[in-house]
Amino acid sequence: MNSLPVLRLVVALIAGLLLVVGRPLLADEKRIALVVGNSAYRASPLRNPGNDARAVAAKLEKLGFEVVVREDLRTRQIAPMLREFRSRLQPGSVALFFYAGHGMQLKGINYLPTIDADIAGEEDVPLNSLNVSQVLEIMEESKTRLNLIFLDACRNNPFTRRFRSAAGGLARVEAPSGTLISFATRPGSVAADGDGEHGVYTQHLLNQMEVPSQPIEQTLKHLVKGVKRDSGGQQEPWMEGSLEGDFYFAGGAVAAVGPPAAGLGEVASFELSFWDSIRASDNPDDFRAYLEKYPRGQFASLADARLRRLVAPKSPEHMGVDRDAGTSKLFRDCPECPEMVVVPEGGFQMGASMRETGSGDAERPRHLVTIPRPLAVGRHEVTRGQYAVFVRDSGHRSESSCYIWVGPEWVNQPGRSWRDPDFAQTDEHPAVCVSWLDARAYVAWLAKKTGKPYRLLSESEWEYAARAGTRTSRFWGDDPGLACDYANVHDADSQQTRRFEWEAHECRDGYVETAPVGRFKPNAFGLYDMLGNVWEWVEDCLTVNYIGAPVDGSARSDDDCARRVYRGGGWSGPASVRAATRNGNSPSYRSQLLGFRVALPLSSAAKGRP
C-alpha cells in the first residue's frame, strides 16, 4: 500500500475532525420543529401525550426552535399542518419532528392515527393517520441540513385487533442521509405511557435536551441508558440513521486538541484502510460495502457520491457494447419480431415522492435500483399484427372475453378480444385485450422462434426504461398539459366519446382510442409510448408498496401472485400517466386498455449475431 495517500488522508481526517468538533452553534442557524401530541382518542385515550407535546414544544422554543405544535390532531388538520411545516423549512436548516400518542405499523409503513380516526380495518389506516414517511419526504425535499425525529408512539395500539396482519410497535425506517430517528422502544415492541406527568421516554429526552455542549449522539445514548434503567429493562429506545456534522440542543462544543478517545485510533485505522483499498474502484458493490459498514464514516458522503456516479445511466455510445459482434442500438431478430432498442445499464430512484400529484403509498418508499447490465427493450408495444402471427403460428387461443367500458362501468363482454376490442385497429396498433398469461405465452413463443430468452420486463426495468434518466413524474417533465406531444392519453376527444369517470388531459392528441405505435415523441432511450396508449404487463407480482422490493432490477415474485403488475397508464388521465404509477389485476384479466412489450438481456441479443 502506498503510504503517501494514506498520510494525506489521515491529515485531512484530523483537520476535518478539528473543524467539526470546534465549530460552535451557529447563531443564525434556522431550527424548525413540528410537535404533535395525541391523547383524547375515542377508543383508548392516553394520559401523557398532551403533556409531552406541550413540554417538548416549550423546551424547543427555549432552545431557539420555531415550533409548529398540534395537540389532539384530527384527520382534517393533517394537510394544513404539513403545509405550514413545509413552508417554514429552508435549505440548510435543522428540522425536528416529535410525536407522542398511538402508533402502528401496517405492512412495513408507520402510521400515527388521529384522535378521530375511524378505523374498522386495514384499508382505513392511511386515510385516518399521519404517515411518518410523509414527514421524512417533506424534510428531504426541503434540503434541510439535518433532520431529527422522535417517536414516542409505541403504546399498545387499540386498532390492531381488527387487522389481518397485526404487528406490535413501529417498523424500522430506512432513514435518508443526514437524518436520525429515535424510537421510544425497539421496532416491533411497545412502550408504556408512564405513571408520571410524562412518558418515560419523553421525560428523559427533556432532561437530556438541556445538557450544554452535548452532541446529539451522546444525548441519545444517555436517553437509552435512562429509559432502560427506569423501566427495569422492559423498554429500550432505538435509533436509525446517521448525521453529517454535529448537532447540539444547547450550546456548542469547545475546540480542544488532546488525546483521542479510547479506541478511536484503532477504529479510524481500520476505516482508513478500507477506504484506501476501494477509493480507486469502479465496482459499485465496493462502495455499498463501505456504506453498510460505516454508514456514518468519514468518507460516507464521498462513497455515496461515487456510488451514484457509477450507477448513473450511461449513453449507449459509452456502454461497452461489442459492436464487432453485430449489436447496434436497434435490431430485429426476425421479420415478424418486435424491433428492439439497446438500453444501457444504470441506476435510478424508483417510485414517487409524497409531493407528486396523483401518487399514492403503493409507489413508496422511493429507493435506489441498479440495472446491472444492458437490456434490449421493445421499441414499441407488441402490435396487433405481431400478435396475430403468434396466434397463427402457435394456435394460442385468447378470445373468450374482454373488459370493455360501457357507460359508467367496466363490463366483461363475451366475444370481445384482440381481434375486436370494441374499436377499430390496424396491424400497427398495439395488441389489446391481452392477459398476463397471453403475454407470457407470446414471449415463450418468441423465445422458441429465435432461440433467445425473450421475456417480459421486470417492474423496475420498466420504470427505468420509462424514465430514461429523468427524475420528473413523466419523461417530458411534470406538466400533464404537454402529454399530447408525447403520448396518446385520455383527452377531450376521448372523453366526449367514451365518457370515462376519470379526469381528462387538457389537450388533444388526435386519437380517441389507441394510436398506431410510434406516432408520438420517444423518450431519451428511443422508446415510444412508454407512457400512454396502453397499459403494459410486466413480470412482477403486485405488492402493496415497495417495502422489501428488489434493488437489482429483478422481478418480485415473493408476495401475492394472485395479481400481476401493469404500468404506463394507457389512454388514461393525468394521475395514471406517470412513470411511477402502478396497477395490477388477475393474470387472466383482459382489458381494451391493456397490452405489453418485450425484453431481452443484451448479452443474449449479442450472442451469435452476424
- pLDDT over 70 at 425, yes or no: yes
- Lowest-confidence range among 250-254, 440-444, 482-486, 514-518? 250-254
Same structural domain for residues 268 and 179? no
Query: d(Cα 594, Cα 169) in Å, to the nearest integer?
Result: 41
Do 394 and 350 fall within a single domain? Answer: yes
Q: Is residue 322 part of a domain?
A: no
Please check whether residues 483 and 351 belong to one and the same domain: yes
pLDDT tens column, 34-59: 999 999 998 789 888 999 999 999 99
Q: Does 351 map to a domain? A: yes
d(C-alpha 137, C-alpha 114), whole Å: 20
C-alpha cell at 295: 454508514
pLDDT at res. 19: 35
Residue 12 has pLDDT above 70, yes or no: no
Contact 548, 555 (CB under 8 A): no
Q: Which CATH number fits the domain that encloses residue 195?
A: 3.40.50.1460
Confidence of residue 324 (pLDDT cuts 50, 70, 90): very low
Considering the domain architecture, whether residues 435 and 563 belong to the same structural domain is answered as yes
Indicate the range of 337-341, 376-380, 401-405, 545-549 predicted with least confidence. Answer: 545-549
**71 and 191 co-located in one domain:** yes
Is 316 part of a structural domain of the chain?
no
Confidence category of residue 159, pLDDT binned at 50, 70, 90:
low
HSE at residue 7, side-chain half, CA atoms within 13 A, is: 3
Contact 119, 113 (CB under 8 A): yes
Q: Looking at the domain assignment, is residue 23 inside a domain?
A: no
More confident residue, 294 or 390: 390
- What is the Cα–Cα distance from 134 to 121, expressed in whole angstroms? 21
Please tell me whether residues 269 and 346 are part of one structural domain: no
Residue from 442, 447, 528 nearest 485 by CA: 528
Instruction: Assign 560 a pLDDT band (cuts: 50, 70, 90).
Output: low
Among the ranges given (420-429, 433-442, 487-496), the one the predictor scored with the smallest mean pLDDT:
487-496
Same domain, 182 and 271: no
At 292 the three-state DSSP class reads helix
409 Cβ partners below 8 Å, 6+ apart?
A: none
Does 63 share its domain with 112? yes
**Cβ within 8 Å of residue 565, ≥6 positions away:** 459, 537, 538, 539, 540, 541, 542, 582, 583, 584
Same domain, 171 and 281: no
Q: Please count the residues of the chain.
A: 610
Mean pLDDT score across all residues of the chain: 82
Label residue 280 by pLDDT band (50, 70, 90): low
Would the pLDDT of 350 be above 80? Answer: yes
On whether the CB atoms of residues 372 and 461 are closer than 8 A, the answer is no
> In 3-state terms, what secondary structure has residue 413?
strand
Contact 433, 421 (CB under 8 A): yes
Q: Which residues contact 450 (CB under 8 A, 6 or more apart)?
A: 333, 334, 337
| Residue whose entry in the numeric block shows the C-alpha cell 470546534 | 22
Q: Is 463:567 a contact under the CB 8 Å cutoff?
A: yes
% of the chain at pLDDT higher than 70: 80
On the question of pLDDT at 304 being above 80, the answer is no
| CB neighbours of residue 80 within 10 Å | 10
Flag whether the pTM goes above 0.85. no
Q: Is the pLDDT of residue 20 over 50?
A: no
Mean pLDDT throughout 406-412? 85
CATH number for 450:
3.90.1580.10
DSSP 483: H
Give pLDDT, residue 529: 97
The CA dihedral of 546, 549, 552, 553, to the nearest 10 degrees, is -70
| DSSP of 48-113 | SHHHHHHHHHHHHHHTT-EEEEEES--GGGHHHHHHHHHHH--TT-EEEEEEES--EEETTEEEEE
Residue 62 lies in a domain: yes
pLDDT value of position 148: 95
- What is the mean predicted confidence (pLDDT) over 454-469? 97
Q: Is 483:448 a contact under the CB 8 Å cutoff?
A: no
- 169 and 282 co-located in one domain: no
State mean pLDDT over 355-359.
86
What's the whole-number mean pLDDT along residues 521-543?
Answer: 96
* Residue at 404 is within a domain: yes
Give the C-alpha separation, 581 to 575, whole Å.
8
Reduced to 3 DSSP states, what percent helix, strand and coil does the chain have, rounded to the nearest 5? Answer: 30, 20, 50
Report how many domains make up the chain. 3
Q: Could you tell me the residue range of the domain that residue 182 belongs to?
A: 30-242
Q: Which of 29-33, 119-123, 167-171, 278-282 has the lowest mean pLDDT?
A: 167-171
User: Is residue 382 located within the same domain as residue 484?
Assistant: yes
The one-letter code for the residue type at 577 is: V
What is the DSSP-derived secondary structure letter of residue 253? P
Q: Are residues 185 and 289 in the same domain?
A: no
The residues, ordered by sequence, that sit 6+ positions from 140 with a Cβ below 8 Å of its Cβ are: 147, 176, 179
Give the least confident one: 99-103, 244-248, 386-390: 244-248
Average pLDDT over residues 248-257: 59
Residue 60: phi, psi to the nearest 5? -65, -40
pLDDT score of 609? 42
pLDDT of 185 reads 83
The Cα 201–Cα 51 span in angstroms is 13
Q: Which three cell numbers stand for residue 211?
A: 445538557
Give me the mean pLDDT over the 118-142 stretch. Answer: 86
Residue 16 in any domain: the answer is no
Query: In this model, does residue 5 exceed pLDDT 60?
Result: no
pLDDT value, residue 285: 72
- Is residue 186 predicted with pLDDT exceeding 80? no
Which pLDDT score is estimated for 168? Answer: 57
Residue 25, pLDDT > 60, answer no
pLDDT for 301 equals 67
Q: What's the gap between Cα 490 and its chain centre?
A: 27
Q: Does residue 315 surpass a pLDDT of 80?
A: no
3-state SS string for 415-443: CCECCECCCCCCCCCECCCCCHHHHHHHH
Residue 382 lies in a domain: yes
